[in-house]
A and B are shown apart, each in its own frame.
Chain A
Amino acid sequence: MAPAPAPISNAPQAAQTDKHEPSINTDVLRDIGTRSLIDTLNSVNGAKTLVLDPSLAGPLGLVIEVSTLKNHGVDKMFWLEAGPLAASTTNIVYLCRPSIKHVKIIADQIKRHARESQKHLYNLFLVPRKSTVVTRILEEEGVLGDINISTYNLQFIPIADDVVSLENENAFKELWVDGDETAVYSSALALVTLQKLYGPFPRIRLATLLTRSLPEQGTLEPDPSAATAPIDSLIILDRHVDMITPLLTQLTYEGLVDEVIGIQNSHIEIPLSLLTVPNAPNPSNPSAALPSTSASNVTPVSNEKTKKHHLTPATDPLFAELRDLNFSSVGKRLNKVAHRLDEDYKARLQAKTVAQLRDFVGKLGGLQTEHQALRLHTGLSEMLVSHTRTELFNKSLEIQQNLLASYETTKQINAIEELIAQGADMQTIIRLLCLASLTTGGIKTKALESIKREILQAFGYNYLPLLLSLSAHPLSAVLPVPLPPSSDPPSKLPFAAVRKSLRLLIDDSPEAIEEVENDISYVYSGYAPISVRLVQCVAQKGGVISNPAEKAPPADGDTNGKANAEKHLRAHPILGWKGFEDTLAQIPGETVDITPKAGNVNSSPSVTSLRNDQTTTTVVFFLGGCTYTEIAALRWVSRQNRGRKFLIATTSIISGKSLIDSIAGADSRTKETSR
């Protein structure tokens, strides 16, 4: 892969090789991000020092490269961190999210410069929009007059060809722990942008407690030129509706990589040895990653021996093939690829004539790329396998499966206690605890107190606030039974009933194995995520009741006639929750089905366009984040239907671990590191 092409230019090809090409081009979003960043930088004349919010570095790395920044006058870059700032240029540009912490640092630095009588021009760009709080704090600190405040509107960033993300990792915590609904509002703004780009959403469907979501939908003026909207519906799922799914251990390849190694803004940090080959140049120059300090991009710090790698199907077709597989079949697939590669190499031996040899040499570059990718993924798989072999991993998996099946629940609680004793990490324990409470509708007060005590003793009393937040009212992830009389009864998920009506658990019996691989439940080895089932309720009703991929079960006749005629079921038009009202009533939160005013959209384009045999796109927005596994499941659904693709939009990609970490908050983490 010597002439590594820019990932952006390569993306469309990858999208074509990918079996399901989305009908919406998400690259537009990235271009918008890039362009507006450049415009933002150019609005400050001359050379400038860029001071960057570390939490933005990842998302920015997805839209722009360091060299581009340098071309637009960025002289040096620093993290936005407490302490003095040594800038050599007159212009200082701060780019950060409008959090109070950041603003205070900025104010400190400005005041310090004033004391040292350094003259600088300060510009503050807030992502994604201005905030009164920021101005207020700057005013309180007495530096408001010295700084120009403006905005850089970074919204959805495409992280795969069918996934866009706001990359706001704390959205869930802000919403459900702090009660800060900023994320809802900014999501609404971002969705409006999406509408402007791709045309209005003919139908909006919400499964959320936040009925005030999307406040300004009504005031929106649709762009008449986009009347032939390729989007037939927007489904908004509140993460709180399906808390269970992210708590489970993800079992797809990409999901497991996230669980074990951790994927940060599509980048993973892995040992250098996996990436470098003795005689081949680096597979993908990770220039997309912003440097940790101003100059460390060229050589990674030697003692760490890890390197950031951008995991993207655009440059790595093998990854596209692997990412959504259940991990158990990854090994097989890798084996197959290895065999094929070997065969291809052997073609050299058969090359007799010069022409044949030339052909082979022409293919060599591609083979080497593939070889490199194979090496990487084999290495990764090894790391994963060694992890999945550990006793803790298997025990926690077993507890999860038992809880999902409501099998001997009290024993599972004891098993969790056992895991604490064995020294499992905090996130795993909390995940299991939440899962136990959610699936059983609460844990007996006495058992809960004893397990809480164990947690506090094992991990430190500083986790008490975390436990309190988990059981606090809107989140209600850990509840005692019976409830203390003073608290108001929270909305509980009747898990057993939902499991039945949504067919969440597929039997693991031998005759059902075939079915397991043919249902979205394959992603969790037998459990179908509630969230995705809900999407199916709207977009693939047959998939909820029985299995669409099965060979013509004589259950529902009329759809089957079509199924036989065509290879896949033709996607039915979006008709709302029809048929699943009872199920939805069981799930906490209100459901909303909005069809914007008739004046905005001429009748229902979804129906007409389907007749025209046109592929429509359904946007699924996860408020509070979604997991890689859910993405994989949605891709599976989209493969089953002809004529409907999904565009997955989310506030960020989460895993159970990141979820718990964010709820635990930065405080407890700093405590850990400071001591």
Chain B
Amino acid sequence: MTEHPTATWAAMPEGNVFYRRQQVYSIPGKLPDLNDYVVAGCRNGGPLAMMRDNTKLVALGRSTPAFAKAQIQVYSLAGEGLLLFSWDQGKIIKFGWTADEKLVVLNEEGVYRLYDLQGDYTQHSLGTEAAEMGIVDARIHPNGLVALTGSLLLLEVKDWEGGKPLTLASPGLTEPPHAWAIIPPDLNISRHVEVLLSVESTILAVDNLEAVDQRLSRGPFTHVSPSPNGKLLALLTFSEQLWVVSTDFQRSLADIDTSSLGGEGSVLQVEWCGNDAIIVTWSNLAVLVGPSGDTLPYMYYGAPFAVSEVDGVRVVDREVCDLIQKVPASSLSVFRPGSTSPSAILFDAWDSFTQRSAKADDNIRSIRPDLAVAVNECIDAAGREWEPYWQRRLLNAAKFGWGFLDLYDPTDFVNMGQALKVMNAVRFYDIGIPLTYSQYQYASPSHLIARLTSRNLHLLALRISSFLSLKPDVVLKHWACAKIARAKPATTGGGKDAELTADEEVCKSIVEKFEQLGNGEVSYADIAKRAWEVGKAGLATKLLDHEPRASDQVPLLLMMQEDRLALLKAVDSGDTDLVYHVLLHLHKRLPLGSFFRLIEDGGTKLAPASKLLQVYAREQNREMLRDFYYSDDRRVESAVLSLDEASQMTDPAAILTSVKAAQKFFSEDKDRGFEAKMMDENARLLAYQQQLEKESDGKITFFGLSINETLRTLLMNGMSKKADKVKSDFKVADKRFWYVKLHALTAMRDFEGLDAFARSKRSPIGYEAFVRHLLEKGHSKEATSYVIRCDSPRRVDLYVECGDWRLAGRECKERGDKAKLESLKRTCPNSLIARELEQMLGSMK
């Protein structure tokens, strides 16, 4: 029988808190002596990466490998070697793990690589500045890193996309800090990373805005370690005092002298166990320090290595891999010796039931009101147990309990069953991911699947995702990529044909698998890209044919230099940004001539692309646009472009040249005779305006005015002869000329001139226009004098509008329109006029 869960428990000397040390794997002889290595552990039961520590001496004679080159080894927690690669770049400063289990390796030149568990990597750099100064230290958190440069500045990298590093506020250091740590952005209120540096006797808190001195006097510190939730900080002083404080340094929580705990030599690590306890390790010993300062010692063989988890701490030494955690509340409730909690009684009841004891019934009755709670607790406790034996027993107890409930929603039960199946599968030593229930919840099932695929465990990942009814496309995609990468390179003898058939086979198998499992929702583009990257262009093209989404096809097509196809697909997608992407890319790569030919040959299909190119070029690259129009014989567009340029120039000579160029372009197109003529006129006008300006010694600006404005300006300046010349030179319509002159003269209040003008010949616009315009400008007196020249039936009303009632009356009288006169009388504004009108009425009789 499997040993009782409480066998692994240990109580803190004072108080009721229990901690358990769960031996997860026994790994004798699988790992080297950790004391000689620099180790980095990944959270959530991820693997360990280790590199020989060059600062430590090595005893010769043992079967030590040659350390000529730096080598990094990656082991799963079950001691299985996952990856081994050697490092050929500058000295490694730091390595650590990202959230998606990639190993980040940073060297002194500021270059960092992200290795996946298959040994493929992407490389980024912190920039030339960092390379010059050199990197002396770094801290890596799951979503970024902070590096300390040789000039003691801090550089932050966010996400792992290779973005430009951000320089944090200068801490003003003169020597490297004694110890330092970072609080990741997602754990800070400000959502920006915070760096804690132990400098002299204090701590500097640095973010991207400022460096704040926390004004402590207990330092310097040898270890700075923030808790997994970023709220607390464990600090170890040189005098081996462990001090726990909140990260804002407002609350001091514990203060323990660790030198009395029995450790030999110096402290190796200060790590958190969950969020409320700290583990301090020495060679051969790890001491757990509880929240109230109580301690629990655990013995280890050789140097242990501790990795903080959200719900505990993993400790690995040469023999075992342990998980030390506070006993979860539900387990405590069920299994604590002497527990009388409902769940404990339920468990007991079920135990009695299986032994056919009547005690079961009594037990159930005694906890009737709390049965639902007890059932839930049993389910939860099942999730916390490591051994399937106990998991099953607890779930059975829960099932037994809910049989006595009237209504019970079994969702939790089902979910827990599923979760346990999955967790037990991945905890298996071959897989080596000892995930706890909290971690599984915290990191999500899809994350777990990603971790499995990155270990090339596709079948298990696929089974798990279908078991949890997750979409299988992630797994399929990864599988396909792996398959392509592993597919045998074309057999040497067979030549092209063999390659083709090999591609055909791979493609077929991938497509088959996708259609069978993926519901047609898997994107082929990524896989095709992968195929292209490993040099299988033929396969890539084949795969890409299966991709339905244009936006995914285009970048790859470009990469494969399938220019025309890429452009076509981009245009088809309707996404203009995609079209731009292709256009700009091609513009850069192709010679201009063939670039234009590509677009022109596309005809109507590529018309939108051509239009977009014109829009872009009009703003950014006019030279290119000119060439484009020229090469395509687009005279009209060329002319418009010239005019557009003219409108942005200030130099008159240059404008004139542009206008003439436009005229030339228009004249080359037989359909554009009118436009050519107009531009000719325009050029003539501009030349004449230049002449006018010269004549007026530049006092009056004419250049660029329209003909109407030119006329007006001339008239306003008393140059009516010139105005007449313009009128005849440019064949200005009579009517328009009259209106312009009318408006100009009125604006100048040159009423005599206006009168002379009105008399010069019979007005082509009639005289009512005169009256109306003068009225509009408020010259009613002058307006009145023109009424007499208007058509007689309109005169009365016009007089009224001019406000001259008397004349209006007289007009009525002359025309003998009595009715009108009477209506005038009714509407007139005052009695004086009314009386006069009355008189007129009288005289008409």
- Complex: how many Å from CA A459 to CA B452? 73
Is there a chain B Cβ closer than 8 Å to A486's Cβ? yes
- Complex: how many Å from CA A132 to CA B575? 11
Give min CB distance, A178 to chain B, whole Å.
5
| Contacting residue for A458 out of B207, B636, B708, CB 8 A | B708
Q: What A residues does B572 contact at CB under 8 A?
A: 212
Q: A45-B190, A468-B640 are in contact. Are A180 and B576 (CB under 8 A)?
A: yes
| Contacting residue for B584 out of A132, A174, A675, CB 8 A | A132
Is there a chain B Cβ closer than 8 Å to A512's Cβ? no
Contact B574 A418 (CB under 8 A): no
Q: What B residues does A140 contact at CB under 8 A?
A: 620
Q: A212-B574, A456-B678, A461-B682 are in contact. Are A100 and B736 (CB under 8 A)?
A: no
Is there a chain A Cβ closer than 8 Å to B748's Cβ? no
- Complex: how many Å from CA A421 to CA B575? 46
Contact A182 B708 (CB under 8 A): no
Q: A45-B208, A179-B611, A180-B611 are in contact. Are A421 and B765 (CB under 8 A)?
A: yes
Is there a chain A Cβ closer than 8 Å to B772's Cβ? yes
- Complex: how many Å from CA A445 to CA B709? 27
Residue on B nearest A423 in the bound complex, by CB: B739
Residue on A nearest B712 in the bound complex, by CB: A423
| Contacting residue for A145 out of B164, B619, B674, B765, CB 8 A | B164
The interface-forming segment of A273-281, A446-454, A622-630 is A446-454
Contact B772 A391 (CB under 8 A): yes
Is there a chain A Cβ closer than 8 Å to B706's Cβ? yes
Contact B574 A188 (CB under 8 A): yes
Interface residues of B in 585-623 (CB under 8 A from A): 607-608, 610-612, 614-616, 619-620
Is there a chain A Cβ closer than 8 Å to B359's Cβ? no
Residue on A nearest B209 in the bound complex, by CB: A46
Is there a chain B Cβ closer than 8 Å to A668's Cβ? yes
Contact A462 B643 (CB under 8 A): yes
Contact B735 A421 (CB under 8 A): yes
Q: What B residues does A181 contact at CB under 8 A?
A: 574, 576, 608, 612
| Contacting residue for B574 out of A99, A185, A452, A675, CB 8 A | A185
Contact B733 A454 (CB under 8 A): yes
Q: What A residues does B648 contact at CB under 8 A?
A: 667, 670
Give min CB distance, A218 to chain B, whole Å.
9
Q: What B residues does A464 contact at CB under 8 A?
A: 640, 643, 675, 678-679, 682
Count CB-based A-B contacts (< 8 Å).
146
Q: A421-B736, A423-B743, A667-B647 are in contact. Are A452 and B615 (CB under 8 A)?
A: no
Residue on A nearest B617 in the bound complex, by CB: A100
Write the B539-582 contact mask toward A (1 if CB under 8 angstroms, else 0).
00000000001000000000000000000000011111110110
Contact A459 B708 (CB under 8 A): yes
Is there a chain A Cβ closer than 8 Å to B448's Cβ? no
Interface residues of A in 106-164 (CB under 8 A from B): 129-133, 136-137, 140, 145
Q: How large is the interface on A (under 10, 10 to 19, 20 to 34, 35 or more residues)?
A: 35 or more
| Contacting residue for B580 out of A132, A420, A668, CB 8 A | A132
- Complex: how many Å from CA A487 to CA B672? 12
Is there a chain B Cβ closer than 8 Å to A427's Cβ? no
Q: What A residues does B581 contact at CB under 8 A?
A: 132
Write the A410-434 contact mask toward B (1 if CB under 8 angstroms, else 0).
0000000110111100000000000
Contact B620 A137 (CB under 8 A): yes
Contact A465 B209 (CB under 8 A): no
Contact A487 B671 (CB under 8 A): yes
Is there a chain A Cβ closer than 8 Å to B218's Cβ? no
Is there a chain A Cβ closer than 8 Å to B213's Cβ? no
- Complex: how many Å from CA A185 to CA B580? 13
Is there a chain B Cβ closer than 8 Å to A215's Cβ? yes
Is there a chain B Cβ closer than 8 Å to A597's Cβ? no
Give min CB distance, B192 to chain A, whole Å.
5
Is there a chain A Cβ closer than 8 Å to B245's Cβ? no
Contact A461 B611 (CB under 8 A): no
Q: A45-B209, A181-B574, A212-B574 are in contact. Are A460 and B739 (CB under 8 A)?
A: no
Q: What B residues does A453 contact at CB under 8 A?
A: 674, 678
| Contacting residue for B671 out of A452, A486, A668, CB 8 A | A486
Q: What B residues does A185 contact at CB under 8 A?
A: 574-577
Contact B706 A458 (CB under 8 A): yes
Give min CB distance, A207 to chain B, whole Å.
18
Is there a chain A Cβ closer than 8 Å to B707's Cβ? yes
Give min CB distance, A90 to chain B, whole Å.
8
Is there a chain A Cβ closer than 8 Å to B51's Cβ? no
Is there a chain A Cβ closer than 8 Å to B730's Cβ? yes
Residue on B nearest A483 in the bound complex, by CB: B671
- Complex: how many Å from CA A212 to CA B579? 14
Residue on B nearest A101 in the bound complex, by CB: B619
Interface residues of A, dominant DSSP? helix
Q: What A residues does B615 contact at CB under 8 A?
A: 174, 178-180
Contact A457 B706 (CB under 8 A): yes
Interface residues of A in 355-403 (CB under 8 A from B): 391
Is there a chain B Cβ closer than 8 Å to A619's Cβ? no
Q: A215-B574, A420-B736 are in contact. Are A45 and B207 (CB under 8 A)?
A: yes
Contact B647 A462 (CB under 8 A): yes
Is there a chain B Cβ closer than 8 Å to A213's Cβ? yes
Q: What A residues does B679 contact at CB under 8 A?
A: 461, 464
Q: What A residues does B640 contact at CB under 8 A?
A: 464-465, 468
Residue on A nearest B587 in the bound complex, by CB: A136
Contact A100 B619 (CB under 8 A): yes
Give min CB distance, A169 to chain B, whole Å.
16
Residue on B nearest A667 in the bound complex, by CB: B647
Contact A418 B576 (CB under 8 A): no
Write the B187-229 contact mask toward A (1 if CB under 8 angstroms, else 0).
0001110000000000000011100000000000000000000
Is there a chain A Cβ closer than 8 Å to B681's Cβ? yes
Give min CB distance, A87 to chain B, whole Å.
16
Give min CB distance, A658 to chain B, whole Å.
20
Is there a chain B Cβ closer than 8 Å to A236's Cβ? no
Q: What A residues does B732 contact at CB under 8 A?
A: 457
- Complex: how many Å from CA A658 to CA B755? 40
Is there a chain B Cβ closer than 8 Å to A484's Cβ? yes
Q: What A residues does B431 contact at CB under 8 A?
A: none
Residue on A nearest B673 in the bound complex, by CB: A449
Write the A450-490 contact mask toward B (1 if CB under 8 angstroms, else 0).
00111011111110110010000000000000001011000
Give min CB distance, A273 to chain B, whole Å.
21
Interface residues of A in 249-308 (CB under 8 A from B): none
Is there a chain B Cβ closer than 8 Å to A506's Cβ? no
Interface residues of A in 654-675 (CB under 8 A from B): 667-668, 670-671, 675
Residue on A nearest B190 in the bound complex, by CB: A45
Is there a chain B Cβ closer than 8 Å to A184's Cβ? yes
Is there a chain B Cβ closer than 8 Å to A13's Cβ? no
Give min CB distance, A374 to chain B, whole Å.
28
Q: What A residues does B707 contact at CB under 8 A?
A: 457-458
Write the B673-703 contact mask toward A (1 if CB under 8 angstroms, else 0).
0110011011001000000000000000100
Is there a chain A Cβ closer than 8 Å to B704's Cβ? yes
Is there a chain B Cβ closer than 8 Å to A71's Cβ? no
Write the B709-748 contact mask toward A (1 if CB under 8 angstroms, else 0).
1000000000000000000001011011011100100000
Interface residues of A in 173-195 (CB under 8 A from B): 174, 178-182, 184-185, 188
| Contacting residue for B192 out of A45, A133, A457, A675, CB 8 A | A45
Residue on A nearest B585 in the bound complex, by CB: A132
- Complex: how many Å from CA A104 to CA B765? 51
Sample of 25 A–B contacts (CB below 8 Å): A45-B209, A131-B577, A132-B577, A132-B580, A132-B584, A133-B616, A178-B614, A180-B612, A181-B608, A181-B612, A391-B772, A421-B733, A421-B736, A422-B769, A423-B743, A456-B682, A456-B706, A458-B706, A458-B707, A460-B705, A464-B682, A468-B675, A667-B647, A670-B647, A671-B647
Given contacts A422-B769, A462-B647, 16 further A-B contacts (CB under 8 A): A131-B577, A133-B616, A133-B620, A137-B620, A140-B620, A181-B608, A181-B612, A391-B772, A421-B735, A456-B706, A457-B736, A458-B707, A464-B643, A468-B675, A487-B671, A667-B648
Closest 6 pairs (CB-CB, A-B) = A179-B611, A460-B706, A100-B619, A461-B682, A215-B574, A421-B736
